[in-house]
Structure 1
Amino acid sequence: MANQTCDVPGQGLRVPPGDVPDPAQDIATAHDRGELVLAGGCFWCTEAVYRQLAGVTEVLPGYAGGSADTANYQAVCSGRTRHAEAIRIRYEPDRISFGQLLKVFMAVAHDPTQKDRQGNDVGPQYRSAIFPLDADQRYVAGAYLAQLQEAGVYAGPIETTIEDMDTFFVAEEAHHDYAARNPGAPYIQYVSMPKVEKLRRYFPNL
């Protein structure tokens, strides 16, 4: 992953992250499976953000899309596989909802207006994508992307894709909880931690 300076405030937003609207549609607690898969650039960053949230019980970095034979860090970083660096989140639906997790994704975890990149991390492995695990997730995700696009809260079009979820391949152990274990790394200081700080500033209730 390339070194880069802190991403621009608001991550492509015209408004402060805290002003990003809540999803008009969400999954009822009784029907929420408590698991989702998101891809938003470097999984060190997205994992660091989601580990902060109350109600989230597990965050695992990994590779979504593509085949098992190339589901490893070296191959995925080449940009020649169909994988995206992603995270699998498990959570308690009675404490935090699918829609709230999507809002964090779109407001602070990454910039959904960038196509096949996040900052200086360039390639399809860094694409913005939601991998629904059931029909409810697909419906709510699609409705929320349309809602945000219509609201005009971003400076450019939303590039986030909704992709079929086949298999999630858990990443190598060295990448698990990477930000917490490597706080002095320049990438963590200048890219990952500003996202965590935005979460704490704009969504202290979460």
Structure 2
Amino acid sequence: MHHVKSLLARALNVRPLLLAGGVLGVVYYGWSAGGPSAAEQPRVVPPPVVATRDRSKIQTAVFAGGCFWGTQGIFQHVNGVLSATAGYAGGSAETAVYELTETGSTGHAEAVRIVFDASKVSFGTLMQVFFSVAHDPTQLNRQGADVGPQYRSTVFPQTKEQANVASAYIRQLDQSHAFSSPIATTVEAGKTFYKAEDYHQDYLVNNPTQPYIAFVEQPKVDALQRLFHSVWREEPLLEAGRRG
């Protein structure tokens, strides 16, 4: 994700591929060199074999998988999610700002903090959504045209149990060949989440006609509705006005 003036040029580059190859396939895999076949479509990957035992009602999860505009927009439509906040994870408080993170040198990834009601949606289901429609977990330090470690695929576990379940789930997906390429997702424990600037919050909802949103991110939300209708929330849960 780059500044808005460069998004228009990039959108023009991907739009012909979208029209020629099919919206979902191109958006999901970005037609990037070394990525999976563009013929593959977003689909529901198998759930984790090992379910979380923690039944505490209110829990937190942090995921990173490319531009946080889209990741936030997806989880805002998941029933049981109480908040989805765009931010940074993996680096220090001093570098948790957009301009520094976008250099790719801070250790941060663009991430989303999800507070959820575990009695309504499980951590396992959130991981299913993350690996199925939110991004391509086989791309290393990139998502499509967004290149750099700030766009890496990462689970930032908030508990030891989440760390164990996430690591086991990655092994499960690799062993079952759920994807045509090995999963590049990392599990990085002990990292603090920092909320992003206000103008990044609810960006997908507030900018539906912006080319990057319309052609790259909104189709992922559409795929969520189609593939995860059992947890689909029609009205997005917005971050605007929320503290913290």
From 194, 205, 225, give the equivalent of 1:169. Answer: 194
1:54 equivalent in structure 2: 79
Structure 2 letter corresponding to 1:82:
G
User: Are the equivalent residues in 2 in contact too, given 1:129–1:161 (CA < 8 A)?
Assistant: yes
Distance 1:93 1:110, change over 3 A: same
User: Does the alignment pair 1:200 with 2:217?
Assistant: no
Rounded to whole Å, the distance in 2 between the matches of 1:59 and 1:115 is 24
Residues 34-86 of structure 1, C-alpha deviation per residue, up to 9 Å, x if partnerless? Answer: 11000001000100100000000100000001111111001111112110000
Aligned partner (choices 146, 154, 175) of residue 150 of structure 1:
175
Q: Considering Cα pairs closer than 8 Å and 6+ residues apart, tell me whether 1 or 2 has the greater RCO.
A: 1
Alignment of 1:26-37 (within 5 A): 26-28=51-53, 30-31=55-56, 34-37=59-62
* 1:126-172 superposed Cα distances (whole Å, 9 cap, x missing partner): 00000011111011101111110011011111000001232111000
**What's the counterpart of residue 112 of structure 2?**
87
Identity over aligned pairs, percent: 44
1:183 alignment partner in structure 2:
208
**Contact 2:25 2:42 (C-alpha < 8 Å) held by counterparts:** no
Quote how far apart the aligned CAs of 1:121 are: 0.3
Aligned-partner Cα distance in 1 for 2:41–2:47? 14
Structure 1 residue 20, shift from structure 2 partner? 1.2
Query: In 2, distance between residues paired with 1:161 and 1:110?
Result: 14
Root-mean-square deviation (CA, aligned residues, Å) is 1.8
Counterpart code for 1:130: V
Q: Secondary structure at the match of 2:230?
A: coil
Unaligned runs of 5+ in 1: none
CA separation in 2, counterparts of 1:114 and 1:188?
A: 20
Question: 2:157 corresponds to which residue?
Answer: 132
Which of 73, 98, 102 lines up with 1:73 in the alignment?
98
The count of residues paired between Structure 1 and Structure 2 equals: 206
- 1:68-118 Cα offsets, whole Å, 9 max, x none, are 111100111111211000000001001000000000000000000000000
